[in-house]
Structure 1
Amino acid sequence: MAGLRERQKADRERRILKAAVTQFRADGYRSVRIEDLAEMAEVSVGTVYNYYQTKGDILIATVAMEVEEVLDAGAEIVADPPGGVDEAILRLIFQYYDHSLEYLSKEMWRTAMALSIEAPGTPNGRHYSEQDQRLAAQVTDLIAALQARGDVRSDLDARALGELLFNNLNQMFIEFVKDDEMSLDALKARVAAQTRPIATLIARHPA
């Protein structure tokens, strides 16, 4: 019975998040009410509040859902990076970017970022920062894997490099979501142009 209850709980939560993704995209985060999400998810308003205290909690949960999926996909890249330092780093970064609008619109990302900045000490703020930390750690893991394979200089600090690369890709993503006219291809082109010189500098045998 416990297993059934857990499955039912997980199903209700998935329905709530699916409703949030659909309605936030269609009507805008600020226009959607908890009652709207409950109706679409076919649960009571009270059930929604059993899972999430605020609408902001639901939005940050969609960010966490997105991050979980990109981390899973990124783990495969880290486990077997493609040849070439620049190719390996950009494969991971582009995997993040390509998935970034799967659940969240640019407007949703801006709101989630604002929530995390306005109140960094709240559960939402901490949760958002934790997602960034996990992504930065994965970039670091990739650098360490490239060092182990002999592609990146062993005298360099993998963590410092991972944080540097993540900070840049994250800042460029912020620029992307701020600009409704910027395309994903334009973002990727700019980040590739910034990343390739760094890859050449840290490569053990620069091309």
Structure 2
Amino acid sequence: MTSLRARKKADKERRILEAATQLFREQGFDHARMEHIAELADVSVGTLYNYYENKGDILMATVNMEVTEVLDAGEAIVADPPLDVEEAVHRLVDQYYDHSLYYLSKEMWRAAMAISIQQPDTPLSKAYTELDQRLSAQMVRLIETLQARRLVRPSVSARAVGEVLFNNLNMMFIEFVKDEPQPLAVLKTRVAEQHGPIARLIALEKTALSTFVR
């Protein structure tokens, strides 16, 4: 059972992150000030610095919150995917993308990516890298689930295919956040066009599937 102290701490952290993302969107990451974040979150400036040393730490914590929620939502898809390989892959990818701008703007993603590259040894930057690895592993597990349900060819390496699919969607997302005018719908369409042939290639043909089931 979570203690009252832990719940209060989590609530305070959540208020700080939500206040920060609001100001980052309204004023831009570079122009937002720590004291204004504290004021909006209804905490003292000293308390804010007890939680986070700087705006970069707050931003990376927000990324961690974003991706953790995406992973949690993705678990439901992995556990019970559509019975079509292409649709299942699209469903998981769309879940990733649809949530990607919930807390963060493109500018905030660019700043977070820069921090993760420039300060790779900080705990929050390491957490950022670990979350990418967990997303990749989740895609691999989706392919494994489809394979266990005899929808993907048994000869296919689920790990290799899952990692290829994730690496592609991740690279396309990086290009997306660099291109400010590009709408999310265009990104999703382009990635679906690229993933579709792979999904169809690894899928067990329906005629083969019916023979296999017998």
TM-score interval, smaller chain: over 0.9
Runs of 4+ in 1 over 4 A off after TM superposition: none
Name the TM-score, length of structure 1 as normaliser: 0.96
Which of 2-11 and 146-155 deviates more?
Answer: 2-11
Superposed CA offset, 1:137-168 (max 9, x none): 11011000000001111222211111110000
Whether the 8 Å CA contact 1:120–1:126 is kept in 2: the answer is: yes
DSSP 3-state at the match of 1:29: coil
Please tell me the residue identity of whatever aligns with 2:111: T
**RMSD over aligned Cα atoms:** 1.4
1:153 & 1:25 partners in 2: Cα distance?
A: 45
1:206 & 1:167 partners in 2: Cα distance?
A: 28
DSSP 3-state at the match of 1:190: helix
1:17 & 1:119 partners in 2: Cα distance?
A: 20
2:185 & 2:125 partners in 1: Cα distance?
A: 29
DSSP 3-state at the match of 1:31: coil
Aligned to 1:71: 71
Please tell me the residue identity of whatever aligns with 2:131: Q
2:89 & 2:141 partners in 1: Cα distance?
A: 11
2:130 & 2:54 partners in 1: Cα distance?
A: 19
Whether the 8 Å CA contact 1:115–1:124 is kept in 2: the answer is: no
Name the TM-score, length of structure 2 as normaliser: 0.93
Aligned to 2:175: 175
2:149 & 2:173 partners in 1: Cα distance?
A: 29
Whether the 8 Å CA contact 1:140–1:162 is kept in 2: the answer is: yes
Aligned to 1:124: 124
Aligned to 1:106: 106
Aligned to 1:189: 189
Aligned to 2:151: 151
- Taking only the aligned residue pairs, the percentage that are identical comes to 63
DSSP 3-state at the match of 1:30: coil
Aligned to 1:81: 81
The alignment covers a number of residue pairs equal to: 206
Aligned to 1:5: 5
1:128: how far off? Answer: 1.1
Q: Which has the larger radius of gyration?
A: 2
